[in-house]
Amino acid sequence: MQLTTKQQEYWRKNLRITGILLFIWFVATFVMGFYARPLNEINFFGWPLAFYMSAQGSLIIYVVIIWYYARYMNNLDRVYDVEEAEDE
């Protein structure tokens, strides 16, 4: 079957949000980890910053990334008319 322009746009938007969120994930993980020693010089409520990020901060970012993706895509499904019928 041939995809309509609207359907193709849905996929492009999906790729775009996936890319953006993946970039945030990468920064919160690997860029943060790479600069852990200098970041640890910063005190964050008692924690050295990189310690805090690795033990808690980045984890919160991960949870938010997944929450936002689900919300964004579930909404996009509706706007682009590709949502499933039989769901609550």
Residue 27 sits in the site that holds another protein (CB under 8 A): no
Picking from 53, 22, 59, the residue whose alpha carbon sits closest to that of residue 38 is 53
Q: Is 12 in the site for another protein (CB under 8 A)?
A: no
| Closest CB 28 distance from another protein, rounded Å | 8
Return the H-helix or E-strand segment holding 39.
Answer: helix 36-39
Q: Which is nearer to another protein, 5 or 29 (CB)?
A: 29
**Residues pairing with 43 in the sheet:** 48
Examine residue 13 and tell whether it contacts another protein (CB under 8 A): no
Beta carbons of 9 and 80 less than 8 angstroms apart: yes
Helix, strand, coil fractions of the chain, as percent rounded to 5 = 75, 5, 20
Closest CB 5 distance from another protein, rounded Å: 14
Provide CB contacts within 8 A for 68, sequence distance 6+.
21
**Positions that interact with another protein (CB under 8 A):** 1, 3, 7, 10-11, 14, 18, 21-22, 25, 28-30, 33-34, 36-37, 40, 44-48, 50-52, 54-56, 58-60, 62-63, 65-67, 69-70, 73-74, 77, 81-88
